[in-house]
Structure 1
Amino acid sequence: MLSFTVKVQHIIMDYHSLLKEYESVVLNDLINSLSKKYKVIILSELKDFQGEQKLEVFTKIRSIDQLMVPGTSTVLLTGDTKKLQAFHLKNISTILMGENVSRMITAEGIYSLPDLILSLERVKGFLLYNMDFGYRNEIAVENYLKKSGNSVLQKPKGLLYVAGEMEHQLYKNIKAELIVPGRFFTKGDTRAYADVLTLYLLKFKDEKSFAVQVFAESLKTCLDLLKQKQTFDIITTVPSRTSINKLDSIFYQPALMEFRNKVHLNLLKVETKYKQQKYAGNKFNRAHNVHNKISFTKQINGHVLLIDDIYTTGATTLECARMLYQAGAKSVTILPFGVTQHKVTTNIRKPVLGSGGDIYNLRLNNQTGEPFWVSAGSNYEEYHQIRNYYYGQ
């Protein structure tokens, strides 16, 4: 589930950021355990590193510029969200480590999310014992691709992360909680080139049955997790600009049968047509673009779970939340399939070329959803072969 990594060989420990969360003896024990499987590199910004005499094996650096190992074999362990983007730009995958997830992910940080957000014990499970952790929808897609020979969809594993309350761009008193189950990478991002979830989200917009199925299964497990911590009275969707709401199709899948008594698919509607948000500009322009264009159809009460496909600036979704509050909602939680990330571009990432010089592109089989690579010259390659070559460049 790590964005850039082909095979993890090196672990960077951002030691002093993690000291804010853990005692030094705990971190030293972790480093010594990891050093039996990986080469451990200590990122220590202080001149004197007091933990040195307690550790058995390590290399020390004071900044990312001193790193002399390949980014695609390296993972950062940090407690500092401000470092994430800088390491992603170096093609280094990241794990944000801490015990209080809701405190670590803030509204401002959702556009530069780490590859994983794990507690100490889950870091051990993932790095030492190969346990499966990651964003719910990213793992759901991976599990779908690994389905058994009788085509039975495996139950998705993974975690949901609470990003806190998001504010309406025009009405600061209008807020809704955002749940993050996956990430979406825009075209041109080095991670988008080989990211299957991004393609699945695009195929969902095209109403491909395999994408509808996998997101229905994943949504069910999301709802099962959420209902353990909070109750929701109504489930509804962000309305479509067109006459057909593609989000509605997931609720006709058998996986969501038990939740249908809470589903109100026509609760919100587009009152006045507006231009596509991607052409509207920044988040404030997008908020003005959709302002007063959406209305509600009836009065409601209670906690509303609002489903969306891709959360970018949140302008449309938060306008929907504003209408839900006007309709009588006591609280609103937003659950998208993926949250758009800040673009990561690097000058060392080059597209994979075929023998004739054609660029390989990642595609999904329209019937099965299986990923494959194809060049303009119609040369086909297996998914992991090209992905590993691409990230190994």
Structure 2
Amino acid sequence: MFSLCTRVENIIIDMDSFDDSYLENQVFAQLLHDLGVKYNLLLLGTEKDRFIETEIIQANISEFSAFLKDFKIIPMYSIVLTSSMKRIEEAHKLNLSTILIFESDEIDDFNQIDHKHLPDKILDIGTTRKLLLDNVLHGNFNELSVQQTGGTGYVFPIGEIHHQLFSNFKANLMYAGRYFVYDDPRSYIHCLSTMILRLKKFKPYAVEALAYCLHTDIKLTLKSFEDINLITVVPSKPEQENHLDLLLNHTKLDQFRSIIDTNLLFTVRDYGKQKQAGSFTERAINVLDAFDSRKNISGHVLLIDDILTSGSTAMECAKVLYNRGAEKVTILPLAIMQSSSNAPSHGKIKDQFDEEYRLNFKNKDGSPFWVASDGEFLEYNEGKKLYLKQNSYEDYQYDEIPC
């Protein structure tokens, strides 16, 4: 799902990020040719002769702000294709939608993926073609599912995450969805971010929706790691009910019941809120030695979390699992927290009485819709289109675009 893409008009190719293996690939060359027929194709690079069939605009993609001004490019009508995580971060500063081109034989490079600035989609060349030329929906599963858009979802391994204090402890990290904080322009229309907050309030529709997501997440994770023999969960604070237990104990996960143990880990001491702890290192100190296991274990453990931010809490749990006998740990969060965009702020949509619409979900089936405080309603897609249209930068002053 492209959170802030009103419609696709411009495809921006970061040519400098693609090595010769791409440029000599006829499938890649054909993709660029066909994209140029359907869209306004813009090839950016610093080497003129890297791809002789199409003119390359002499610009470094890290200079996006100058490029947008010079070519009057509307960010919400544009998608960047790159194989560089650094360029993903640069694009996100301006709310440009992104596709990370990532071939399966590059598995050794998974650790180059920065989980704080995840692209909208991680696709190979063939799937990028299906998405942009054949209109096949494809993206991270939890976002597609909660928005109820259908399509083909994935759960993607994005390398290893390390303990902030003890670097010898590491775990695999899975990408099934993103979470955006309130002041991020993407948060307002992002169903998964809102649904997880409703799960924390134990809303039944959120339990149903996210139990379905977790069932599929686990199935897809087992395709990447077939040796998982135990599934457990990050524990709640003392004397608090764990909303994640509701998911793992749901009937939708009965297929994995024989290897699920929600009581394995427990909290041995209370600790302050992680978001108030400070830096990632301070977060790790905040939860240091806060957890323990009720028994010794072995093998490969899949650890379920709701929102992974620094990973400090999950990795402290992973440390306990390793100390109790685990040979490998994989962390599967419902969503991974994204660093806030520093793009211009966006105005919320309002009804005829100037009342702000809020994203909500139907109790019956968890489907998203909009409601204003006076009871005015909008279908989800209608409200999303209004939000994107009024913030599409069509009348934007390009000298105000942040550098």
Please report the TM-score for the alignment, with normalisation by the length of structure 2. 0.88
* Match of residue 150 from structure 1: none
Q: 1:177 touches 1:333 (CA, 8 Å); kept in 2? A: yes
Distance (Å, rounded) in 2 between the aligned partners of 1:348 and 1:319: 35
SS at match of 2:38: coil
Letter in 1 for 2:3: S
1:108 positional shift: 6.4
* Match of residue 119 from structure 1: 124
User: 5 Å matches for 1:1-393?
Assistant: 1-24=1-24, 26=26, 27-46=28-47, 48-52=48-52, 54-55=53-54, 60=57, 62=59, 63-64=63-64, 65-67=66-68, 68-100=72-104, 102-106=107-111, 109-143=114-148, 157-229=152-224, 230-241=226-237, 242-347=239-344, 349-392=346-389, 393=391
Q: 1:269 touches 1:296 (CA, 8 Å); kept in 2? A: yes
1:227 positional shift: 2.4
Where relative contact order (Cα < 8 A, 6+ residues apart) is larger, the structure is 2
1:287 positional shift: 1.1
Distance (Å, rounded) in 1 between the aligned partners of 2:345 and 2:306: 31
Distance (Å, rounded) in 1 between the aligned partners of 2:271 and 2:41: 53
1:251 positional shift: 2.5
1:255 positional shift: 2.2
* Match of residue 399 from structure 2: none
Runs of 4+ in 1 over 4 A off after TM superposition: none
Structure 2, gaps ≥5 residues long = 392-403
Distance (Å, rounded) in 1 between the aligned partners of 2:328 and 2:383: 45
After superposition, what is the alpha-carbon deviation per residue over 1:333-377, rounded to whole angstroms, capped at 9, x for unaligned? 110000000001422522223333333222223443222222334
Letter in 2 for 1:111: K
1:296 positional shift: 0.8
Q: 1:163 touches 1:180 (CA, 8 Å); kept in 2? A: yes
Q: 1:111 touches 1:339 (CA, 8 Å); kept in 2? A: yes
Please report the TM-score for the alignment, with normalisation by the length of structure 1. 0.90
Distance (Å, rounded) in 2 between the aligned partners of 1:142 and 1:84: 23
After superposition, what is the alpha-carbon deviation per residue over 1:168-223, rounded to whole angstroms, capped at 9, x for unaligned? 11111111111111100011001001101111111111122222222222222222
Letter in 2 for 1:40: L
* 1:228–1:98 Cα change, 3 Å: closer
Distance (Å, rounded) in 2 between the aligned partners of 1:364 and 1:116: 25
Q: 1:303 touches 1:332 (CA, 8 Å); kept in 2? A: yes
Identity %: 32
Distance (Å, rounded) in 1 between the aligned partners of 2:37 and 2:303: 46
How many aligned positions are there? 379
1:311 positional shift: 0.4
* 1:267–1:208 Cα change, 3 Å: same
* 1:50–1:237 Cα change, 3 Å: closer
* 1:80–1:106 Cα change, 3 Å: same
SS at match of 2:223: coil
Which deviates further from its counterpart, 361-370 or 182-191? 361-370
Structure 1, gaps ≥5 residues long = 147-153
